[in-house]
Amino acid sequence: MNNREKFIEWMINNSGRSKNTINKYASAIATMSRELTEHSTINIDIYKVVDSIEIHRIKEQYLEIDELREKDERGNRMYTSSLIWYQKYLEEDKKLNTLVKDNSNEYSIVYEKKVKGEFTISEGTKQWKRDRAVVDRSIEFSNNKCEYDDKHEYFISNKSGKNYVEGHHLIPMKYQDNFEYSLDVEANVVSLCVVCHKILHLGRIEDKVNIISKLYQLRINSLELSGLEISLDELIDLYK
């Protein structure tokens, strides 16, 4: 069960609205994600936001765009109303900023500050230990899609039976000393097809920039929640 489905289930149990209205609210949130991407520099999936305060910021950003504000007014404020209900859903959840693990054993994502892990020294270089479960959760949360382009599907993994993708630390682990908190967290691990992953490791910087820029916009909010502050220019410099 993904977060959209959980929101719908919560609305059915708590809102008193009809199923038709609830489905309209759920679709409105998905539409707002797309419209914010089309009308601004924001690139975000609202259903991946689990901080109710951030939802309030998103609503303000939406209303700052004249075309979208007028559309919301024509629609009797259905779009902003859907965000208000989504915010209530998050606030009433027992584990704020968490996608709760359900009975189907769905992975949970928690955006929080995490202390740095352990490291070893190999030939004078620090090698920071990584938690494989962090990568697995990030891949599961992406529905085994490439986060740069979800149409990048090259082959089915023999192990998972799903589209093959790989986990990648957006802020490379070798720069852990530059940050107060751990880089080995879900906020910093993106799911990529094998081609995009190889480009980030082996490609020319001019080919890396578009990928890095999109991934940065997708993750900037969750990175901040995890105590990882970095500008886009600073991130790009790490790949040069």
The whole-model pTM stands at 0.58
Ordered by start, the domain boundaries in the chain are: 3-92, 119-238
Helix axes 3-14, 19-39, angle to 10 degrees: 140
Three-state SS at 149: coil
Question: b/e string for 27-44 if b means 16 or more Cβ within 10 A?
Answer: ebbebbbebbeeeeebbb
Question: Residue 209: which pLDDT band, with cuts at 50, 70 and 90?
Answer: very high
Instruction: Answer yes or no: is pLDDT of 96 > 50.
Output: no
pLDDT digits (tens, 9 = 90+) for 102-146: 434 444 455 678 898 889 998 888 899 998 888 988 888 888 999
